[in-house]
């Protein structure tokens, strides 16, 4: 029973190299997507923290200037 032409070691290595290069392209794209998602999530976290701070200021009936003054007073 004939099995076809055997591949040379060079051909096998070239195929493996091609597969590795394709995997690199795939995972580079995925990594880029994850980095963008990370950036968006970090920005959203920052916005939520600012919302919390703003809400606290409103509850305490303080202005941003009042908070700045408190921070400056604590630095000294």
- Residue 31 covered by a domain: yes
Predicted confidence (pLDDT) at residue 2 exceeds the cutoff of 70 = no
Alpha-carbon distance 74 to 66, whole Å? Answer: 13
Span 7-32, average pLDDT: 96
Structural domain span for residue 45: 9-75
Which pLDDT value is given to residue 1?
Answer: 52
- Residue 2 covered by a domain: no
Alpha-carbon distance 43 to 37, whole Å? Answer: 10
Which pLDDT value is given to residue 15?
Answer: 96
- Residue 67 covered by a domain: yes
Alpha-carbon distance 67 to 65, whole Å? Answer: 5
In tens, the pLDDT along 52-64 reads 999 999 999 999 9
Instruction: Read off the pLDDT band of 5 (50, 70, 90).
Output: confident
Number of domains into which the chain is organized? 1
Span 39-49, average pLDDT: 98
Alpha-carbon distance 23 to 31, whole Å? Answer: 12
């Amino acid at each position: 029973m004939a099995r076809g032409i055997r591949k040379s070691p060079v051909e096998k290595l070239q195929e493996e190299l091609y597969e590795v290069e394709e995997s690199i392209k795939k995972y580079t794209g995925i990594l880029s997507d994850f980095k963008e998602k990370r950036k968006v999530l970090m920005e959203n976290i920052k916005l939520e923290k600012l919302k919390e701070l703003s809400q606290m200021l409103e509850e305490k009936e303080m202005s941003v200037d009042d908070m700045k003054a408190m921070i400056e007073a604590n630095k000294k």
